[in-house]
Amino acid sequence: MTARATDWTLALLVGLGFATGLLSLVSGRDGDAWVFVLHGAGGAALGLVTGWKLRRVWRRVASPRRWDSRTTAGLLASLLVFATLGTGWVWSSGGDLFIAGWNLLNWHITLGLLLSLVVYHHAYLRAKRPRQADLANRRQFLHWAGISVVAALAWRMQRPATAALGWDGARRRWTGSYEAGSFTGNRFPSTSWVADAPRPLAPDTYRLAISGLVARPGALALPDLDASDKLVALLDCTGGFYSTQEWRGIEVGRLLDGAGVSPLATHVRVISHTGYRWSFPLAEARSFLLATHVGGEPLSHGHGAHVRLVAPERRGFQWVKWVVRVEAHAGTDLGAAASTIWSSSTPEGRGER
Residue 352 CB, nearest distance to ligand HEM (Å)? 31
Direct distance between the N- and C-terminal alpha carbons of the chain, in angstroms, rounded to an integer: 61
Smaller CB distance to ligand HEM: residue 172 or 306?
Answer: 172
Shorter beta-carbon distance to ligand HEM: residue 83 or 209:
83
| 98: three-class secondary structure by DSSP | strand
Whose Cβ is closer to ligand HEM: residue 89's or residue 206's?
89
Q: How far is the CB of 75 from ligand HEM (least distance, A)?
A: 17
Report, in this order, helix, strand and coil percent for the chain, each rounded to 5. Answer: 45, 20, 35
Residue with smaller CB distance to ligand HEM, 90 or 310: 90
208-212 β-sheet, strand order: 218-220, 208-212, 323-329, 267-272, 277-281
The answer to whether 304 and 322 are in contact (CB under 8 A) is yes
> Nearest approach, Cβ of 284 to ligand HEM (angstroms)?
23
CB of 238 to ligand HEM, least distance (A): 7
Site residues, ligand HEM (CB under 6 A)? 14, 17-18, 21-22, 24-25, 36, 39-40, 43, 46, 84-85, 88-89, 91-92, 105, 108-109, 112-113, 115-116, 155, 158, 172, 176
Tell the smallest beta-carbon distance from residue 286 to ligand HEM (Å): 29
Contact 309, 292 (CB under 8 A): no
Distance CA 178, CA 264 (A): 41
Query: Which is nearer to ligand HEM, 115 or 261 (by Cβ)?
Result: 115
Instruction: Give the nearer residue to ligand HEM in terms of CB position, either 14 or 307.
Output: 14
The answer to whether the CB of 288 falls within 8 A of the CB of 280 is yes
Beta carbon of residue 328, minimum distance to ligand HEM (angstroms, whole number): 31
| Residues, the chain | 353
CA distance 29 to 174: 10
